[in-house]
Structure 1
């Protein structure tokens, strides 16, 4: 699994990305357009054997304050796996590649936070499987209660 920061050369891949159910996650094309208007948002593409299989945005802006007031953190949002590749383990592979990607590209970041709808049980299980911990906090988002999860990256410092 290879994580790559979005650039215009990947525009066609984003256009071709299929996300049939976008109730819990934003369409990548919309997320990329919104990120282009921000200095603090970084769309990330996850490739398996050269095929774009998953997508998410890392954000260090003010939206992060809904999740944490801790410095040196980034918000992970709009995570999805292309509908054509769901159930093949690509979501967990992308999230498992995140700590190394963060150490290389955002070395000052010590944790990644996210909000997951309390009713999105498959996503909750995925995040937990990939090392995210439930903080016990939540906030009321646009489509219901969002559980706040965090992935500590500090253990990478000891390597």
Structure 2
């Protein structure tokens, strides 16, 4: 599993990314359009060999303060796995690679925070398996209540 920050040379990979259900997460194509102007948005691609299997954004901007009161945090958002690659362990692999990736690319970061829709039980289990912990706090997001999870970076 390789985590790579998006550049234009990966556009074809994103164009071919398939998300069958966007109930809980924006498509990478939509996320790319919404984040292309902001320097605080880092679009991350997770590759298994030559296949783009997972996409997410690490957000250094002010939105993270809706979830946590720490300047040394990143907000993980728009996490998805290409529908052709679900149930193969790639999402878990990508999340397990995340702490080392963040330490290398963002050495000033102490924690990663995310909001997961309280009805998205599969994602909640995935984040727990990836060592994210439920903070017990909630945030009212665009698609309902979000449970706030946190992962300290060591």
Residue aligning to 2:14:
14
1:90-139, Cα deviation, whole Å (9 max, x unpaired): 00000000011001111110100000000000000000000100000001
CA distance in 1, matches of 2:36, 2:139: 26
> What are structure 1's unaligned runs of at least 5 residues?
155-159
Normalising by structure 1, we get a TM-score of 0.95
Normalising by structure 2, we get a TM-score of 0.98
- Determine helix, strand or coil for the equivalent of 2:10: helix
Matched, 1:95 2:56: no
CA distance in 2, matches of 1:36, 1:144: 25
- Determine helix, strand or coil for the equivalent of 2:18: coil
Residue aligning to 2:65:
65
Deviating runs (4+, > 4 A) in structure 1?
none
Matched, 1:121 2:121: yes
1:15-54, Cα deviation, whole Å (9 max, x unpaired): 0000010010011011112221111000000000111000
Per-residue deviation at 1:142? Answer: 1.6
Residue aligning to 1:85:
85
CA distance in 2, matches of 1:143, 1:33: 19
Matched, 1:50 2:56: no
CA distance in 2, matches of 1:139, 1:148: 7
RMSD over aligned Cα, in angstroms? 0.6
CA distance in 1, matches of 2:149, 2:48: 26
Per-residue deviation at 1:141? Answer: 1.2
Aligned residues: 154
Per-residue deviation at 1:144? Answer: 1.1
Residue aligning to 2:2:
2
Residue aligning to 2:141:
141
- Determine helix, strand or coil for the equivalent of 1:148: strand
